[in-house]
Chain A
Amino acid sequence: MSILVRDATRRFGDFTALDDVSVEVPSGSLTALLGPSGSGKSTLLRVVAGLERLDAGAVEIDGRDATGLPPQRRGVGFVFQHYAAFKHMTVRENVAFGLKVARRPRAEIRARVEELLELVQLPGLADRYPAQLSGGQRQRMALARSLAVQPSVLLLDEPFGALDARVRQELRAWLRRLHDEVHVTTVFVTHDQEEAMEVADRIVVMNAGRIEQVGGPRDLYEHPANAFVMGFVGPVTRLGELFVRPHDLQVRRQPNGTTAEAMVERLVHLGFEVRADLVLGDGQRLQAQLSREDAEELELASGQIVFVRPSRTRQFAEAAAGPPGV
């Protein structure tokens, strides 16, 4: 059940949410739409679901043109950030909703609801109301509800955004396992690069209504197409025109030909690693990231002079478009 989006454009007044976007989602994959707010990722997801119409372009689901179809007829499951639980129905009634609409026999509905509640690990809560569940439980209910109608595609809009950090971690891993078990083509939207990298097979990086790059987590991290992607997907520090990952910046106590001289302004001990805020002779600021052992070996301290050299760099044509936060 692949998804194909072709030349999609959507404007809201004079704000362009999607600018001629084309992307393909292979069947059975777990894809993340990653980008900052306003990048168009939610709009793209909603366009695929049919909750948003297109000003231009087309959407194909499983080879069929879905552009004119309302959400009812697209066979997509959608999970909302704030759960969109039917507050006046019990968990059981929520999950059964789609099946009731499809007029399935009562016995079948019953069995399927039980099966799904087992799958999402909410057995025994069937007769509670959403208000009596925790956030994480509500979201799992929402997932069970979408899966009940056996969608060909599952779409999740910042599904863990409203949950606290620990629950978020748990549910991320859980979503990955669920996907491995159920194998539905899944697309989820997130602004958290760590979440995308951890969960997805493929990541679509978006910015200002356009797609910057599509690829696997490792691909994007090691071969970013431009400064934006590099900066969004991981930490970046700049050495003039060169973009360097802080952990690719080697630090020595002695100069060695191609090294540059820098002073340690501040050392931040982040438990398993040490971050060194450095400043070059010409005032440029850098960040280096070392393991605890390396930092200890070098006996780094604030105010010291050290010598740095990048082991790996990238350079981009439009170096002017710098990554965020550097």
Chain B
Amino acid sequence: MPGRPAARLGRWSLRALALGYLAVVLLVPVGAVIWRAFGDGIAPVWQAVTTPDALHAFWLTLLVAAIAVPCNTLFGVACAVVLVRHRFRGRRLLDAVIDLPFAISPVVIGLALVLVYGQAGWLGGWLAERGIQVIFSLPGMVLATVFVSLPYVVREVAPVLREVGTEQEEAAWTLGASPLRAFLQVTLPAIRWGVAYGVVLTTARALGEFGAVTIVSGRLAGQTETLTLYVEDRFEAFDLTGAYAASLTLAVLALLVLLAMTRLPSHRRKEGR
């Protein structure tokens, strides 16, 4: 928009305001972490990132995500089908419940899980009798991660599924395909980008979870600490280099996720949520 000097001034000041805000809140801090982390050179950072506890935290984080993300993906697709194609009383309620993890504090989530699955919890005692420990152990951490990252696949797939409609599947039926086959071979490929974007968001959320997992895991270094918990652990121990180094690892993972987010087409960016 070329314009008169007043208009141009207005445009420039608006631009400066926006970029300045973003710089102060976003960009500069991220730069600062990198600067602080490498304050004493690369060697201390590498050392900090390769201690046994750090490595264990790294792999545990990946393990938890590797379980939680597929679970939520399967659930997400199934739930999207139910929301989009089925008509039943309580559908609105289902819709509302799915949004809860977006808005609930992770600490509340942690507490909630302990109340049900802890030793003294509603189901915890029954499970303990059968030798299954949930809280202070891997299953609890997976459960907490599943809770917080639950809605993403559903919310990305549902609109795409609605757009795709049922005609292609119906055509497959008339050609002899069973409903399951028609869904897998015809509909699933049609919604794959929605699923992909949902998986990326779910993974990001799973990798970054802190509040719920901190309550549910017991934070035993080297045993039930994920990378995020490890960062806090190092911070509390005044090992700032360790904390910054681990943060850097997480930041790199976050940037990879961001890259994936920009690469994949998403309905979200078209209609906005």
- Chain A positions near chain B (C-beta within 8 angstroms): 49-51, 70-72, 74, 76-78, 80, 82, 84-88, 97-98, 101-102, 142, 145-146, 148-149
Of the residues A70, A85, A146, contact of B175 by C-beta under 8 Å? A146
Specify the main secondary structure of chain B where it touches its partner: helix
Contact B190 A72 (CB under 8 A): no
Residue of A nearest to B192 (CB): A88
| Chain A residues, Cβ within 8 Å of B189 | 88
A-B interface contact total, Cβ < 8 Å: 57
Instruction: Classify chain B's interface size.
Output: 10 to 19
- Chain B positions near chain A (C-beta within 8 angstroms): 167-168, 170-178, 181, 186, 189-190
Contact A86 B174 (CB under 8 A): no
Contact A80 B173 (CB under 8 A): no
Residue of A nearest to B171 (CB): A84
A148 vs B176: C-alpha distance when bound (angstroms): 11
A70 vs B175: C-alpha distance when bound (angstroms): 11
- In the complex, how many angstroms separate the beta carbon of B254 from the nearest chain A beta carbon? 31
| Chain A residues, Cβ within 8 Å of B172 | 86, 97
Contact B181 A101 (CB under 8 A): yes
- In the complex, how many angstroms separate the beta carbon of A19 from the nearest chain B beta carbon? 23
- In the complex, how many angstroms separate the beta carbon of B190 from the nearest chain A beta carbon? 7
Contact A72 B177 (CB under 8 A): yes
| Chain A residues, Cβ within 8 Å of B178 | 72
A46 vs B265: C-alpha distance when bound (angstroms): 35
A49 vs B171: C-alpha distance when bound (angstroms): 10
Residue of A nearest to B176 (CB): A101
Contact A82 B167 (CB under 8 A): yes
Contact B170 A78 (CB under 8 A): yes
Residue of B nearest to A81 (CB): B167
Contact A84 B168 (CB under 8 A): yes
Of the residues B171, B181, B190, contact of A78 by C-beta under 8 Å? B171
> Would you give 27 A-B contacts (Cβ < 8 Å), ordered by A?
A50-B174, A70-B173, A71-B173, A72-B173, A72-B177, A72-B178, A76-B174, A77-B174, A78-B171, A78-B174, A80-B167, A82-B167, A84-B167, A86-B168, A88-B189, A97-B172, A97-B175, A97-B177, A98-B175, A98-B176, A98-B177, A101-B175, A101-B176, A101-B181, A142-B171, A145-B171, A146-B174
